[in-house]
Amino acid sequence: MSAQQPNSRQHYHVGNLAEQLLSSARSMLEEVGVAKLSMRALCSALGVTATAAYHHFTNRAELLAQLATQGYLELAEELNEKAVALPVEEKIRGFCLIYLNFGRRNPALYQLMFGPELEFEQMPEHLLNARQQAFSRLELMVADLLKQTPDSPDVRSAALASWSYIHGLTSLLLHEVLQRPKDISDQRIIERTLTGFELLFNAYAANINPA
Amino acid sequence: MSAQQPNSRQHYHVGNLAEQLLSSARSMLEEVGVAKLSMRALCSALGVTATAAYHHFTNRAELLAQLATQGYLELAEELNEKAVALPVEEKIRGFCLIYLNFGRRNPALYQLMFGPELEFEQMPEHLLNARQQAFSRLELMVADLLKQTPDSPDVRSAALASWSYIHGLTSLLLHEVLQRPKDISDQRIIERTLTGFELLFNAYAANINPA
DNA sequence: AATTGAATCTTAACACTGTCAAGATCATAG
DNA sequence: CTATGATCTTGACAGTGTTAAGATTCAATT
């Protein structure tokens, strides 16, 4: 059943246990959720004893952190590949849709990346780097739209605003805080919310300056 | 040390164990985080055996759900009390600040309310009601600004947009995905992101209609 | 080629956890 | 006063993360 090599010697020195653990964890994560992802179950699924993983990861937390880093890198790559080609008038919409889509395809991973399970006194650097890499994609797009340099305050403000919005929407949808009507696509949800912002700002302006 | 009544009979029939469990859980939640909030520790902190709680809550999940319901109700009440009095031009900013402030004061509870720990095949009704009650506050404010009825599509879109944004910002800040520079207040973060949206929409309009 | 040391895995154990089943105690309704 | 049901305890089971110490194998040095 399992596609891993026949494991000629029954025990000892699997070879690439770290990778196998990570990839097993990756799929098991989506099956059972992050809370129920256990080291022991992970090891026994690979036919290895419960404590074998601890020679490759100091902690359960470290394994989770590496999964999260994977997630950030993949997200960054997807945003980079698919969002660059979009025409200007679809950049925002398209970017948000790609982001939300990533969450839809990897809900448990997304919850891990942005949830409370990653608790460190000091976050590992690979995680911070990967996270920054994903955020940079957003900043670049915003800089492009605003026609400013990526490190300008305006760009940072707008990028933070965008991230807050799309992360919030993704989070609310994934955790089923919002029950999406089945006949409405993610694309339309994004379009509606974006026009929702427009409505708000127009109304705000009208309230301030009642001409 | 503990303020609870002297517990005249040593065991049996504490009296209001359910309430005591909830209030202990509420504070312990913020001390150790939701993942490490354990039934047994909770019980032993109240001087009661490990399984006593199960005569008042069928599950750990049910206890957590009741905590989350508390959270939603408190959030709704705060929004109702403090946001109504705000002048029109400060309604959005003020609302968001109250919301974020709630998260700041109850970070673990907020993560419980909107995180993956609440896993039910069917969400308990008290939770859904309380959640809806909080969301209604937002819809009412948006309806007020847009001068439309709360059930109009425009209001729903704008309310969902607002909720996505402020929840996303709160979530990113609480989980320390964003490292906030210490000299910037939450109020300024909100102001900056809101103007960030304005910048984006202006640039978007300019890109569509390059006059 | 043999030996040594490090990397890798196993066995055994500890202290936890959620939860169930069965018994003890107690308040209260009849 | 007795009995019923609510409440709490005792005891147990299966599962968890993690550590310490031993077994095995790989790799490199002699």
B168 touches chain A (CB under 8 A): yes
| pLDDT of the residue at B12 | 66
Is residue A22 located within the same domain as residue A91? no
**Distance in angstroms (rounded) separating the CA atoms of residues B31 and B25:** 10
Same domain, residue pair B31 and B92: no
Which residue does chain A place closest to B130, by CA atoms?
A: A177
B83 touches strand D (CB under 7 A): no
Residues A16 and A82 occupy one common structural domain: no
pLDDT band at B10 (very low <50, low <70, confident <90, very high): low
The helix (H) or strand (E) run that includes residue A25 is helix A17-32
Q: Is the model's pLDDT at B3 over the cut of 50?
A: no
Chain B CB contacts of A89 under 8 Å are 204, 207-208
Are the CB atoms for A113 and A71 separated by under 8 Å? yes
- For position B176, what pLDDT does the model report? 84
Mean pLDDT of chain B: 91
Domain termination site, one of B18, B35, B54? B54
Residue A47 structural domain: 9-54
Q: Mean per-residue pLDDT for B60-78?
A: 98
Restricting to A residues 70-89, those with a Cβ less than 8 Å away from any Cβ of B are 88-89
Whether the per-residue pLDDT at A115 is higher than 50: the answer is yes
Q: Are A45 and A96 contained in the same domain?
A: no
Residue A114 in domain:
yes
Question: Do B85 and B121 have their domain in common?
Answer: yes
Smallest Cβ–Cβ distance between B167 and the set A168, A192, A196 belongs to A168
User: CA of A36 and C1' of D16: distance in angstroms?
Assistant: 10
- Whether B91 shows a pLDDT value over 80: the answer reads yes
pLDDT in tens, A178-201: 877 778 999 999 999 999 999 999
Which pLDDT does position A7 carry in this prediction?
37
Please tell me whether the overall predicted TM-score, pTM, comes out greater than 0.85 for this model.
Answer: yes
Cβ–Cβ < 8 Å for B117, A35: yes
Specify the DSSP class assigned to residue A147.
T
**How high is the pLDDT of residue A179?**
74
Is B178 contained in some domain? Answer: yes
**Among candidate residues B163, B29, B25, B188, the one with its CA nearest the CA of residue B106:** B29
Residue B114 has pLDDT above 60, yes or no: yes
Count of domains for chain A: 2
Residues B103 and B165 in one domain: yes
Q: Is there a contact between B56 and B18 (Cβ–Cβ < 8 Å)?
A: yes
B77 and B41 in one domain? no
Asked if A78 and A176 sit in the same domain, the reply is: yes
* In a domain? residue A4: no
Q: Is residue A117 part of a domain?
A: yes
> Do residues A105 and A199 share a domain?
yes
- Indicate if the pLDDT at residue A96 is higher than 50: yes
State residue B5's pLDDT score. Answer: 31
Dump the DSSP string for A67-84: HHHHHHHHHHHHHHHHHT
Nearest to A146 among B161, B167, B199 (CB): B199
A102 pLDDT above the threshold of 80: yes
At a 7 A CB cut-off, the residues bordering strand C are A 11-15, 17, 43, 48-52, 55-56; B 9, 11-13, 37-41, 50-51, 54, 58-61
Q: How high is the pLDDT of residue A205?
A: 84
Q: Do B125 and B199 reside in the same domain of the chain? A: yes
pLDDT at A154: 96
Residue B3 covered by a domain = no
Whether residue B7 is predicted with pLDDT greater than 70 in this model: the reply is no
* Residue B1: inside a domain: no
pLDDT given at position B207: 81
The CATH number of residue B198's host domain is 1.10.357.10
Least confident range of A44-53, A133-142, B1-10, B195-204: B1-10
Q: Which tens digits make up the pLDDT trace of A119-133?
A: 888 999 999 999 999
* Residue A42 sits in the same domain as residue A90: no
A20-34, B84-98, B158-172: the lowest-pLDDT one: B84-98
Average pLDDT, chain A: 91
With a cut of 70, say whether residue A1 has pLDDT above it: no
The pLDDT assigned to B4 comes to 32
Question: Mean pLDDT across the stretch A78-93?
Answer: 91
pLDDT for position B9: 46
Q: Which of B35, B88, B198 is nearest residue A201 as measured by Cβ atoms?
A: B198
Say yes or no: A78 and A46 in one domain.
Answer: no
Q: How far is A132 from chain B (nearest CA, A)?
A: 10
pLDDT tens profile B150-199:
999 999 999 999 999 999 999 999 998 887 777 899 999 999 999 999 99
> Which backbone phi and psi does A8 adopt, to 5 degrees?
-45, -60
What pLDDT is attached to residue B185?
95
Residues 116-155 (B) with a CB less than 8 A from some CB of A = 116-119, 123, 131, 142, 145-147, 153-154
Q: Looking at the domain assignment, is residue A3 inside a domain?
A: no
Calculate mean pLDDT across residues A60-77: 98
Q: Please determine, for residue B2, whether its predicted confidence score (pLDDT) is greater than 60.
A: no
Confidence of residue A2 (pLDDT cuts 50, 70, 90): very low
Tell me the C-alpha distance between A200 and A210, whole Å.
15
Residue B40 CA to D23 C1' — how many Å? 38
> Which of B113, B157, B176, B189 to probe the A interface (max A CBs under 10 A)?
B157
Helix, strand, coil percent content, chain A, rounded in steps of 5 = 70, 0, 30
Could you say which of B145, B166, B204 has the minimum Cβ distance to residue A204? B145
Query: Where does residue A49 rank: exposed (0-12), middle (13-18), buried (19+ CB within 10 A)?
Result: exposed
Residues A158-178 pLDDT 10s: 999 999 999 999 999 999 888
Does residue A2 belong to any structural domain of this protein?
no
* Confidence (pLDDT) at B6: 30
